[in-house]
Amino acid sequence: QAQLQQSGPGLVKPSQTLSLTCAISGDSVSSNSAAWNWIRQSPSRGLEWLGRTYYRSKWHNDYAESVKSRITINSDTSKNQFSLQLNSVTPEDTAVYYCVRVDSGCLRDWGQGTLVTVSS
Amino acid sequence: DIQMTQSPSSLSASIGDRVTITCRASQSVSSYLNWYQQKPGKAPKLLIYAASSLESGVPSRFSGSGSGTDFTLAISSLQPEDFATYFCQQSYSTVTFGGGTKVEIK
């Protein structure tokens, strides 16, 4: 079982960039069996998968169509962590953001969640 | 994207009741269907994976069934700690979730 620790600001201004980091313990971001995901939850949109990064001989990234033009997920092997950047945020991006470890399609290990509010 | 529809969106039940929640996929997801429990202020917790396999440490009163497009989560005898919101999630094609079912005390 992996432990995921999220960090990043809880308040972001409209049009700016939301940045969160997820530090991993108990597994490796370069694992050949896990994928490292970002998911958000809001009352209006429910649980929404945003994207993932994973290593299978090389790095792969997949993003949800709804945010594809604005999102970047990166991995940092030296720090064993991965990050989320979401550009040009609006109040609709206000949500609780989770980093999640996925293996065999199951979301087994979750970060503690970060409430990000987009407001001036 | 594969759409997941859960029903009901909420239900009221008493301790000891049998409760069932259904989840329908907009196209076949085979058995790539998982169920989660979420309590207020907490991240979701995996209960059932691959439609019918019980996650380690989850009480046996929880069970899952179904394949293709129609799935069911059952709680055989509702306990006080089971009052929560339940979500289905497909992993056949990336990840999508159902809208959730809130189980409340009657």
Query: Which of B30, B94, B96, B101 best tests the A interface by mutation, with the highest count of A CBs <10 A?
Result: B94
Contact yes or no for A21/A40 (Cβ under 8 A): no
pLDDT recorded at residue A97 = 98
- Note whether B46 contacts A: Cβ–Cβ < 8 A: yes
Could you tell me the pLDDT band of residue B16, with boundaries at 50, 70 and 90?
very high
Nearest CA to B88 among B26, B14, B18, B15?
A: B26
Burial of B102 (0-12, 13-18, 19+ CB in 10 A): middle
pLDDT category at B43 given cuts 50, 70, 90 is very high
| Residue A51 φ/ψ region, left for φ over 0, alpha for ψ in the -120 to 50 degree band, beta for the rest | left
A20-30 exposure pattern, b = at least 16 Cβ within 10 A, e = fewer: bbbbbeebebe
Cβ–Cβ contact A68 with B under 8 A: no
Q: What is the mean pLDDT of residues B2-22?
A: 97
Question: B24-62: string of b/e by CB count within 10 Å (b at 16+)?
Answer: bbeeebebbbbbbbbeeeebbbbbbbbbbeebeebeeeb
pLDDT tens, position by position, for chain A (120 residues)?
Answer: 899 999 999 999 999 999 999 999 999 999 999 999 999 999 999 999 999 999 999 999 999 999 999 999 999 999 999 999 999 999 999 999 999 999 999 999 999 999 999 999
Chain B residues in contact with A64 by the CB 8 A cut-off are 94
- Nearest 5°: phi and psi at B53? -95, 130
Q: Which residue has the tokens 């989560």?
A: B73
3-state secondary structure of A91: helix
Yes or no: say if B29 and B49 are a contact pair by the CB < 8 Å rule. no
